[in-house]
Amino acid sequence: MIDLCTLGTGGSMPMPDRALSSLYVRVNGRLLLVDCGEGTQTGVRRAGWGFVNVDAILITHFHADHCGGLPGFLLSIAKTPRTEPIHLYGPVGLRQVVSGLCVVCPPMPYPMILHELHGGETFSAIGLTITCFSLNHGVPCLGYRFELPRAAAFDPEKARALKVPLPLWRLLQQGEAVDVDGRRVEPSQVTGEPRRGLSFLFATDTRPVPALVEQGRDVDMMILEGMYGDEAKRPQALKNRHMLFEEAAGMARNAGARALTLTHFSPSLEEPEAYLPNAQAVFPDTVCASDGLCMTLRYQGR
Amino acid sequence: MIDLCTLGTGGSMPMPDRALSSLYVRVNGRLLLVDCGEGTQTGVRRAGWGFVNVDAILITHFHADHCGGLPGFLLSIAKTPRTEPIHLYGPVGLRQVVSGLCVVCPPMPYPMILHELHGGETFSAIGLTITCFSLNHGVPCLGYRFELPRAAAFDPEKARALKVPLPLWRLLQQGEAVDVDGRRVEPSQVTGEPRRGLSFLFATDTRPVPALVEQGRDVDMMILEGMYGDEAKRPQALKNRHMLFEEAAGMARNAGARALTLTHFSPSLEEPEAYLPNAQAVFPDTVCASDGLCMTLRYQGR
């Protein structure tokens, strides 16, 4: 399963009860952060997920509300016993931004490995396969699709048919081949059909683009910006290259996503829920995130 | 009068209800900020004092908990109609730090004028005369003393004795000389004794040093760090060059300050008030600040 926590759900400027956009992702106890606006380290403390197990930090783009919290977040990790490397991913320019922001940081007790992305790359972190893709925000801005594969189920009938003794089942279940009376039995011989894994997509700060629909195809959840609530803000959405609630919902509907969570609300949206019907009219399974909202994606079926 | 608001009262790392150290100062509607840890812009929103009237930002030193919020704070000012210059003061290195942190900022709509200080300089902002002095924290770190002068009171008896007609009193009260039957009367001729102004001192991140006592002489308020609450933390205080509650109180007592406010609490201090008696035993007029605490220094007497 995958745990998600929207540490901050604000865009542009933080509000007293809405920190800047950032998402914490947990798989098997390991952590990954998407975006790190000012206030992220406080959000981590509120969530209680800790800092020590962060293996990767993904930045969507280099506007301050998406990366201004990096020095504090990295320093909070530095106060844990962590010494293993941390991988940072972001658009081209990542080196310059990290180098600039870390002017106030002493040398860290862990190596930082920086990966500058152009969009289109696929990489792995905390067990997730991650694909990045380009958005439309005026500056280089990336969306990320995350996939957690699921192993095919062990099929006892197949194991019995191959006369595998019971004590060897556990090895096959763990993915190891075994020898049975001189025959080699591979795990793939005793498993059923491939099973659907889990997937989600995170994208903020963009106009609607075909990549959102392509990358969001069939995902368990899309997490998209809900910068502006209604039609009245369309001029700002066009000018600042953001989405309206209904536009984000349209992306989720067209992608065939299973659920949509809106985040990254404009400071002008005092109550995002008031505009939720505008999204639900297009895509019913929509919710508005709030700071500290935790959601779990679980495998469906056996 | 001078309004003070401790926007954040945490040291080192922010806690959910304790942002990093920062003080907002207001005189006649103009604003000055001392230190700008991550979360400062959120504290400003909570306080409701706004961003547009900030004329000066003073940084004590370049540890991230004292300046990591600069990009966000400067960007929040940039979203107001402000175009007048903002003066930034801090130790040598200020240019490099501002340049690094502002890697995530677009060009600002107001000029930023940077002043690198060595300690010992005196300058003016928002009507305050400010003196900076060196502390003992391992890296260059400045304390600041603030003084608001008070004009001497207008003395009607002196004006009458000099036969100044009533309609001219207002000009003299406003500091202008007047002509009376060919004689020139200066404002100083119709005022009484000089009156005590207001003063306060802000210093965190230091071991006790004589400069605190010298600069804190007779001030209306010292705002000092209360990084550690009791004797058990003396080894950390010595190692990290911070003060215990009782050490800060000793500085206030030796300076003859009129009041002491403790701030910049270690994350290990869950309830600073629990340690307040350790300070009050040395200097009774001590309080612990909390985020958003507003205090007003008022002229005493007529």
Which residues in chain B have their CB less than 8 angstroms from residue A65's CB?
A: 72
Q: Which chain B residues touch A if contact means CB-CB below 8 Å?
A: 13-16, 19, 38-39, 41-42, 45-46, 62-65, 67-69, 71-72, 75-76, 79, 96-97, 99-105
Average pLDDT, chain A: 96
Which residues in chain B have their CB less than 8 angstroms from residue A72's CB?
A: 13-14, 38, 64-65, 68
Whether A201 and A145 have beta carbons less than 8 Å apart is answered as yes
pLDDT in tens, B261-279: 999 999 999 999 999 999 9
Whether A49 and A80 have beta carbons less than 8 Å apart is answered as no
Check residue A183 and give its pLDDT: 93
Check residue B174 and give its pLDDT: 86
Whole-angstrom distance, CA of residue B86 vs CA of residue B93: 18
Whole-angstrom distance, CA of residue A188 vs CA of residue A165: 17
Average pLDDT rounded to a whole number, residues A85-109: 97
Which residues in chain A have their CB less than 8 angstroms from residue B95's CB?
A: none
Which residues in chain A have their CB less than 8 angstroms from residue B102's CB?
A: 100
- Helix, strand or coil, per DSSP, at residue B70: helix
Average pLDDT rounded to a whole number, residues B93-119: 97
Q: Is the pLDDT of residue B175 over 90?
A: no
CB-based contact B101 A96, cutoff 8 Å? no
* pLDDT classification of A14: cutoffs 50, 70, 90: very high
- Find, among A198, A175, A197, A166, the residue nearest to A4 by Cα: A198
* pLDDT classification of A174: cutoffs 50, 70, 90: confident
Residues in CB range of B32: below 8 A, 6 or more apart: B24, B25, B26, B54, B55, B56, B57, B58, B125, B126, B128
Whether A133 and A202 have beta carbons less than 8 Å apart is answered as no
Nearest CA in chain B to A77: B13
Residue of B16, B46, B104 with shortest CB distance to A97: B104
Of the listed ranges A260-264, B149-153, B227-231, the one predicted with least confidence: B149-153
Let me know if A114 is exposed, middle or buried by CB neighbors in 10 A (0-12, 13-18, 19+). middle
Q: Is the pLDDT of residue B162 over 90?
A: yes
pLDDT in tens, B119-157: 999 999 999 999 999 999 999 999 999 999 998 889 999
**Mutation test of the interface with chain A: which of B7, B13, B104, choosing the one with the most A Cβ atoms within 10 A?**
B104
Whether A32 and A54 have beta carbons less than 8 Å apart is answered as yes
The count of C-alpha atoms lying within 13 angstroms of the C-alpha of B85, restricted to the half-sphere facing its C-beta, is: 8
pLDDT in tens, A148-159: 999 888 999 999
Nearest CA in chain B to A99: B100
Which residues in chain B have their CB less than 8 angstroms from residue A101's CB?
A: 100-101, 103-104
| Shortest distance, CA B98 to any CA of chain A (angstroms) | 9
Whole-angstrom distance, CA of residue A113 vs CA of residue B57: 34
| Shortest distance, CA A40 to any CA of chain B (angstroms) | 10
Nearest CA in chain B to A97: B103
Q: Longest Cα pair distance anywhere in chain A, in angstroms? A: 74
pLDDT in tens, A105-118: 999 999 999 999 99
Q: Is the pLDDT of residue A251 over 90?
A: yes
How many percent of chain A have pLDDT more than 70? 100
Whether B275 and B260 have beta carbons less than 8 Å apart is answered as no
pLDDT in tens, B50-90: 999 999 999 999 999 999 999 999 999 999 999 999 999 99
Considering the entire predicted model, what is its pTM? 0.92
**The token pair that represents B45 in the structure block:** 């929103």
CB-based contact A69 B42, cutoff 8 Å? no
CB-based contact B41 A72, cutoff 8 Å? no
Nearest CA in chain A to B101: A101
Let me know if B249 is exposed, middle or buried by CB neighbors in 10 A (0-12, 13-18, 19+). buried
Which residues in chain A have their CB less than 8 angstroms from residue B45's CB?
A: 14-16
* pLDDT classification of A175: cutoffs 50, 70, 90: confident
Burial B57-94 (b: 16+ CB within 10 A, else e): bbbbbbbbbbbbbbbbbbbbbbeeebeeebbbbbbeeb
Check residue A170 and give its pLDDT: 92
pLDDT in tens, A118-147: 999 999 999 999 999 999 999 999 999 999
Check residue B46 and give its pLDDT: 96
Check residue A301 and give its pLDDT: 80
Q: Is the pLDDT of residue A91 over 90?
A: yes
How many residue contacts between A and B have a Cβ separation below 8 Å?
100
Residues in CB range of A20: below 8 A, 6 or more apart: A8, A10, A11, A13, A14, A35, A37, A38, A39, A40, A65, A66, A68, A69
Q: Is the pLDDT of residue B193 over 90?
A: no
Checking ipTM against 0.85, whether it exceeds it is yes
Average pLDDT rounded to a whole number, residues B103-122: 97
Average pLDDT, chain B: 96
Check residue A194 and give its pLDDT: 86
Whether A60 and A40 have beta carbons less than 8 Å apart is answered as no
Average pLDDT rounded to a whole number, residues A221-234: 97
Q: Is the pLDDT of residue B24 over 90?
A: yes
* pLDDT classification of B106: cutoffs 50, 70, 90: very high
Check residue B293 and give its pLDDT: 98
Q: Write out the catalytic residue numbers of B.
A: 65
CB-based contact B13 A67, cutoff 8 Å? no
Q: Is the pLDDT of residue B33 over 90?
A: yes
